[in-house]
Amino acid sequence: MLLSEAAILGIVGGAGALLIGNMTIRGMLAILPADGPVLQPVLDTRLLAFTFMLGLFTSLAFGLFPSLHAVRAALAGGVNTQTARASGSRTASRFRTSMAVTQLALATGLLAAAMLGGCASGMDKDQCVTADWRTIGYEDGLHGLPADRIAVHRAACAKHQVTPNLVAYSEGRDHGLREYCQPKNGFRAGIDGYGYANVCSGAAEAAFVDSYRYGRQIHEARTELRSTQARLHSAREGVARTDTAIANVTAELVQPRVPSDRRAWLATELVRLAQERTDFVARIDQLTHRTQELALNVRELERQSPYPL
């Protein structure tokens, strides 16, 4: 039974890590400067498989310990049987909980590494030997990657004594860039929070950059709105916590047999909590007004968007 629970924890932990890792990568990309390097995360399936296998293995391994412990407790018998069983149950519960937390943290870190690892070339020997450099260049151009991307491929293949075909790569990349450097792609890159590596040129660049900046403007407006909404929610929770504390202090303060020093402390605490509540309320008013302004700004930007959202 415990081993089955451990296996389920491993699977659930891996799935949770997949979600958290994806959100982490998106958050990391969102805070990159607009004119910074372009990173296009691609999931490394080999590392992802390793992550899930490691999570499942560690879950089963740690699940085995409380199972054995419970068996020993059951065989102990005697007067302390019930105590041993309870102790074993608590130990097993602690191990399962710590296992879930450890496995989730480990899987999340490995998953982030897997996704960020996609930002590097990651080409193995067979891929380098059989590479269609025109297609690779086309895909890099299609994703708006800078010209020095070829250096990443060159470094990866140098380990296998393979030199990229620079001419074929450049021709393919130029073709990919012609498709990438369209205004709608610039808008989409901006609204998704990606950077622009100044890869477009000529007449296409002006239209691309204008669309990119407008998309980026929407992205930043949405980000600020979400941040302000989160702060507003936190302030409202602060009021609720303070109200609970005030109620508890007041209830104790009106008791007839409260020592004088304790009563003095409660009175001082009540004044402090009242001021804290006043501060929270003022913050809520300010953040509510700011949220309304930001929401209106986002709606207006989205309304004027040249492309469907």
Tell me: the pLDDT tens digits for 143-167?
Answer: 999 989 999 999 999 988 999 999 9
The pLDDT of residue 48 is 60
By percentage, how much of the chain surpasses pLDDT 90?
A: 54
Show the tokens assigned to 29. Answer: 């990309």
Secondary structure element (H or E) that encloses residue 258, with its range: none
Q: What is the mean pLDDT of residues 263-271?
A: 96
- Examine the pLDDT at 271 and tell me if it is beyond 60: yes
Exposed/middle/buried for 51, CB within 10 Å: 0-12, 13-18, 19+? buried
By percentage, how much of the chain surpasses pLDDT 70? 61
73: helix, coil or strand?
helix
Banded pLDDT at 124 (limits 50, 70, 90)? confident
Q: What is the pLDDT of residue 115?
A: 47
Element (H, E) at 131: none
Task: With cut-offs at 50, 70 and 90, classify the pLDDT of residue 116.
Answer: very low
For 265, other C-beta atoms within 10 Å of its C-beta total 14
At residue 181, the 3 state secondary structure works out as coil
Are 146 and 199 within 8 A, CB to CB? yes
Comparing 8-17, 76-85, 129-138, 195-204, which segment has the lowest mean pLDDT? 76-85
Structure tokens at 167: 């001419």
Other residues' Cβ atoms within 10 Å of the Cβ of residue 86: 11
Quick one: pLDDT band at residue 125, thresholds 50, 70, 90?
Answer: confident
Residue 239 has pLDDT above 80, yes or no: yes
Q: Domain-by-domain residue ranges, the chain?
A: 2-117, 125-180, 215-303
Instruction: Using pLDDT thresholds of 50, 70 and 90, give the confidence band for residue 242.
Output: very high
Entry pTM: 0.61
Query: Can you give the C-alpha Rg of the chain in angstroms?
Result: 29
Mean pLDDT within 260-268: 95
Q: How far apart are the first and last CA of the chain?
A: 49
Q: How confident is the model at residue 174 (pLDDT cuts 50, 70, 90)?
A: very high
Instruction: Look at 52 and 81; give whichever has higher pLDDT.
Output: 52
Q: Length of the chain in residues, anyone? A: 309
Backbone phi, psi, residue 6, to 5°: -65, -40
Please give the Cα distance from 60 to 39 (Å, whole number): 36
Q: Which residues of 276-297 are buried (b: 16+ CB within 10 A; e: fewer)?
A: bbeebeebbeebeebbeebeeb
Lowest mean pLDDT among 31-40, 179-188, 285-294: 31-40
Provide the pLDDT confidence category of residue 26 given band limits of 50, 70 and 90.
low
Taking 70 as the threshold, does the pLDDT of residue 84 lie above it?
no
Region 10-25: mean pLDDT is 63
CB 213 within 8 A of CB 190: yes
pLDDT of residue 222: 97
CA 131 to chain centre: 33
Q: Which residue has the higher pLDDT, 152 or 27?
A: 152
Mean pLDDT to the nearest integer, 75-102: 48
pLDDT band at 192 (very low <50, low <70, confident <90, very high): very high
For residues 82 and 89, what is the distance between their CA atoms, to the nearest angstrom?
11
CA 273/CA 281 separation, integer angstroms: 12
The confidence band for 123, taking pLDDT boundaries of 50, 70 and 90, is confident
- H-type alpha helices, 1-148: 2-30, 45-76, 81-117, 125-129, 133-142
